[in-house]
Amino acid sequence: MRRRTFLRSLLAVCGTLSFASFAYPLLRFLAPPGDTDKEKKVTLAKKDIPVGTSRVVLFDQKPVIVINHQEKGFIALSKVCTHLGCLVEFNPATDILLCPCHAGTYDLEGNVLSGPPPRPLAKIPFKVEGEQLVIG
Amino acid sequence: MVKRIRDWLEVRIGLDELIRQNLTEYRVPKHINLFHALGAVAVVGYVIQVITGICLLIYYIPHADHAFRSVQDIMTKVPYGWLFRQMHVVGSNLLITAVLLHMVTIFLMGNYKRPRELTWVSGGMLLIITLGFGLSGYLLPWTQLSYWATTVVTSIPTAFPVVGDFFTRLLRGGNYVTGITLTRFFAVHVSILPPLFVLFIALHIALIRRIGLSATPFGKSDEEKRPLTEYRKKTHPHGHPYYPYLFQRQVLMGIMYFIVMFAIVTFAPTFFFPEEATVPADAFQTPENIRPEWYLLAPYQMLKLIPNKFLGILMQIILLAVFIFWPFLDTHKEKNILKRPILRGVFIVIMISLVILMWWGRR
């Protein structure tokens, strides 16, 4: 290898490493890591959600809608639309969850009925313990 | 006294030479019209945004707990705060209108053709930067409208696998739109976009000055009916001097800009403030009937109509790329759109489609 080629290659490697040594911290600085601390379980009193109504709670930093349906009992779904992140609203008259941003609709299982959402709404696990609902 | 100041400047900066070169001896084509002044109108619009933006900066607090309150205080308590905010908000909409109109007229006159491809691309970059100003500034009042519009916009990268979530987190500074997003957008609005804008406007103007102002392809005596194939600065020796010929037109259009702005500020002050823009941001309630700004209505409606999220967003990115790099796709030598029926037809169809999508999105 000629001395000139060697020095050019060395300069390119050193330049790239120097750039990367600044770029990596900058990238890490700008994009914080995802949340690692999972939230503890959320407890609700069953009587606070009469049949035919719903309530929104914050679980794992996400808004969750808990619906007390006449036939299906309690249902817990993420309120975050899988299209572009707006919050869906529950319409008890039609049993449909509607996203006001781009008109995506979901059924009570969270399945997409119409519109652009690519995935169903996330189902949130919960347990009924006596008179309490434990989300998570 | 004035003469002494003039002489003093003449010795040091060559004032007479500057005026001669840039105003009285700088020639513009004979067949220019009011539309040639739209670029200058956009510059006037940017200057207004900078001045009113600095005024707002004095009272605005970029913190999630105070942003909404500080904007309300600007509107209600600070003397003439309402005026500067109205001018900034109305001005941002008018500015986007001016830039879009400028690009449409350049397109219709075929002035993006060789050797002005880079002038068009730099103009396209300025349009994107202007939209960036609009989007980053939109969140700052921390209202329901701004919060949810930002949620939607920052969710767009999630359509792309692998890197999508990373870019969304990069934009938001976390998993959701929070106070961190607000400070980030504030930083982008006041310190990242302005130098980028200066860079591209300098490039844009330098390219115009180097190649010369473009003529319309419609005039009978214009020498520029076909695109140039080699560098030849168009000095337009038989044209008119820039000052006062084009300058007068630019001043007239600048006055028109102010008239429209103050007409909206005076007679329709709520025109750009829907109800959601007066309610503080609530992370747990997406407002019903939320709509983006008028210039985003067509993409918004397209996102609603295309059932696949990835396809919907990919199509918008492709359309934007086609628009920005159009000079490299349209290599036809004819500049006059009246002699190009297919291009004319495509242009009309696109315009009608945009109007329909905007009207549909508004409903």
β-pairing verdict for A42-45 and A132-135: antiparallel
Interface contact A20, partner B, CB < 8 A = no
A79-125: per-residue pLDDT in tens?
A: 999 998 999 999 988 999 999 988 899 999 999 999 899 999 999 99
Interface contact A34, partner B, CB < 8 A = yes
Residue A129 host element (H or E): strand A126-129
pLDDT at B237 over 80: no
Q: Which residue has the higher pLDDT, B306 or B215?
A: B306
Closest residue in chain A to residue B172, using alpha carbons only: A31
Average pLDDT of chain A is: 88
Q: Contacts of residue A118 in chain B, CB cutoff 8 Å?
A: 308-310
The alpha carbon of residue A134 is apart from the nearest alpha carbon of chain B, in Å, by 20
Q: Domain residue spans in chain A? A: 1-32, 42-135
B40-81: per-residue pLDDT in tens?
A: 999 999 999 999 999 999 999 999 999 999 999 999 999 999
Of B180, B290, B312, the CB nearest to A100: B290
φ and ψ at residue B118, rounded to 5 degrees: -70, -30
Looking at chain A from residue 85 to 104, which residues have their Cβ under 8 Å from any Cβ of chain B? 85-89, 99-103
The alpha carbon of residue A71 is apart from the nearest alpha carbon of chain B, in Å, by 27
Torsion of CA B164, B146, B351, B317, to 10 degrees: -10
Q: Contacts of residue A34 in chain B, CB cutoff 8 Å?
A: 169, 175
Closest residue in chain B to residue A115, using alpha carbons only: B307
CB of B62 closer than 8 Å to CB of B186: yes
Q: Contacts of residue A90 in chain B, CB cutoff 8 Å?
A: none
Left, alpha or beta for A65 (phi > 0: left; psi -120 to 50: alpha)?
beta
Contact B304 A32 (CB under 8 A): no
Contact A63 B284 (CB under 8 A): yes
Contact A99 B286 (CB under 8 A): yes
pLDDT at B230 over 80: no
From A59-68, A106-115, B141-150, the region with the lowest mean pLDDT: A59-68
Burial of B144: CB neighbours in 10 Å, binned 0-12, 13-18, 19+: buried
Of B148, B170, B310, the CB nearest to A86: B148
ipTM: 0.71
pLDDT at B309 over 90: no
CB of A132 closer than 8 Å to CB of A123: no
Q: Mutation test of the interface with chain A: which of B169, B309, B362, choosing the one with the most A Cβ atoms within 10 A?
A: B309
Single-letter amino acid code for the residue at B122: S
Q: Contacts of residue A101 in chain B, CB cutoff 8 Å?
A: 148, 152, 286, 290
pLDDT reported for residue B275: 84
Contact A116 B287 (CB under 8 A): no
Q: Name residue, tokens 């982008």.
A: B188
Contact B286 A31 (CB under 8 A): no
Task: Read off the pLDDT band of A38 (50, 70, 90).
Answer: low
Of A30, A63, A100, the CB nearest to B287: A100
φ and ψ at residue B231, rounded to 5 degrees: -70, 125
How far apart, in whole angstroms, are the C-alpha atoms of residue B120 and residue B104? 11
pLDDT reported for residue B66: 96
pLDDT reported for residue B233: 67
pLDDT reported for residue B226: 64
φ and ψ at residue A54, rounded to 5 degrees: -140, 165
How far apart, in whole angstroms, are the C-alpha atoms of residue A65 and residue B170? 28
Q: Contacts of residue A117 in chain B, CB cutoff 8 Å?
A: 309
Helix B81-108 to helix B67-76 angle (10° resolution) is: 100
Pick the CATH number of A42-135 from 2.170.120.30, 2.40.110.10, 3.40.50.300, 2.102.10.10: 2.102.10.10
Contact B148 A89 (CB under 8 A): no
Using DSSP, state whether A8 is helix, strand or coil: helix
Contact B175 A31 (CB under 8 A): no
Task: Read off the pLDDT band of A36 (50, 70, 90).
Answer: low
pLDDT reported for residue B91: 96
Chain B residues with CB-CB distance to A under 8 A?
148, 151-152, 154-156, 158, 166, 169-170, 173-176, 180, 283-290, 300, 303-304, 306-310, 312
Of the candidates B276, B285, B274, B292, which has an alpha carbon nearest to the alpha carbon of residue B142?
B276
Q: Name residue, tokens 């890591």.
A: A33
How far apart, in whole angstroms, are the C-alpha atoms of residue B265 and residue B91? 10
Q: What domains can you pick out in chain B, each with its CATH number?
A: 2-216+235-285 (1.20.810.10)
Q: Contacts of residue A55 in chain B, CB cutoff 8 Å?
A: none
